[in-house]
Chain A
Amino acid sequence: MQQKENIKRPSGEVMHLTIDSISENEEFARVVVAVFATRMNPTLEEIDDIKTAVSEAVTNAVIHGYQNREGKIQIEAAVQENVLSVTISDDGVGISDIERAMEPMFSTLPEERTGMGFSFMEAFMDRVEVISAPGKGTSVTMRKKIGRERR
């Protein structure tokens, strides 16, 4: 039940990363965000949760946002006290019906994909917000309180 001594941090420690939209970068992206999050002293399970959620969002950008064509994916991760927030943005095709896209098992590519991407993000992070419009790209922001399980 012991809480770690709160180390004073400048508010808003932030990491920015721009990657090419290629599937090879999915692993790189999730590892970078996981390493960034280690400053919050997360549990191994929390690290796994973050990696899976980031992997889902980056995969969506590669497959759906850019439809396997060229593009840039922006990743921003920030620490605010004990909350990690990660935003994955693309300038791809965007989503016309966000609610539908977030429904479990819904996919625009049902032959190849399970439609579980957003469900996984929601299962592993505390909050998932999606901003998107057709032709305007997609931005997914996920937040997670770190260290909760040790309290």
Chain B
Amino acid sequence: MDPSFIYEAKGQILIIHMPKELDHHNCRNLRYETDLLMAENYISKLIFDFSCTTFMDSSGIGILLNRYKQIKASGGVVSFYGASPQIQRILRLGGMMNLMPQFESKEEAIYR
């Protein structure tokens, strides 16, 4: 169990490497941390990396939805990559597949 998120910033791009277990407990810090990062840096592209994520519930959807609204409001884009079939099921049920494009790899997410 690793509750901390790993952030990777490249200019206006912010990549959030999601934890293995994405539940309410592990989501608690994300809101605060991304608020800080997004206040200090202009982020026009937010990318979620689910490569390491094996579990996710509706708390994870909440995190994505909030960040999506925030980035959209400032004219940016949100996408994700690395989602396993199980994570894709959760994202689909949570309505995220209609909101943000899915990419095969980090590179694709960055350059598209």
Q: Give residues in A with beta carbon < 8 Å to B.
A: 23-24, 26-27, 30, 45, 48, 51-52, 55-56, 59, 62-63, 112-114, 116-117, 119-120, 123
By the criterion CB–CB under 8 Å, are B93 and A123 in contact? Answer: yes
Q: Report how far A24 CA is from B90 CA in the complex, Å.
A: 21
Known: A24-B25, A26-B25, A27-B1. A51 touches B65 (CB 8 A): no
Contact of B62 among A27, A48, A51, A114 (CB under 8 A): A114
Closest chain A residue, CB of each to CB of B58: A116
**Chain B interface residue number, banded:** 20 to 34
**Which parts of B31-62 form the interface with A (CB within 8 Å)?**
31, 55-59, 61-62
Closest chain B residue, CB of each to CB of A116: B58
Query: B86 in the interface, Cβ–Cβ < 8 Å?
Result: yes
0 or 1 for each of B11-45: is its CB under 8 Å from A? (1 = yes): 00000000001011100100100000000000000
By the criterion CB–CB under 8 Å, are A113 and B21 in contact? Answer: no
Known: A23-B28, A120-B93. A114 touches B23 (CB 8 A): no
Closest chain A residue, CB of each to CB of B63: A114
By the criterion CB–CB under 8 Å, are B25 and A56 in contact? Answer: no
0 or 1 for each of B68-94: is its CB under 8 Å from A? (1 = yes): 000000000000000000100110011
Q: Which of A24, A51, A63 has the most CB of B within 10 A?
A: A51
By the criterion CB–CB under 8 Å, are A51 and B55 in contact? Answer: yes
By the criterion CB–CB under 8 Å, are A116 and B94 in contact? Answer: yes
Instruction: Give 13 A-B pairs besides A26-B23, A55-B57, A112-B31 with Cβ atoms closer than 8 angstroms.
Output: A27-B1, A27-B23, A48-B86, A52-B90, A56-B58, A59-B57, A63-B24, A113-B58, A114-B62, A116-B58, A119-B58, A120-B57, A123-B93
Chain A residues near B90 (CB-CB < 8 A)? 52
Closest chain A residue, CB of each to CB of B24: A59
Known: A26-B25, A48-B86. A114 touches B57 (CB 8 A): no
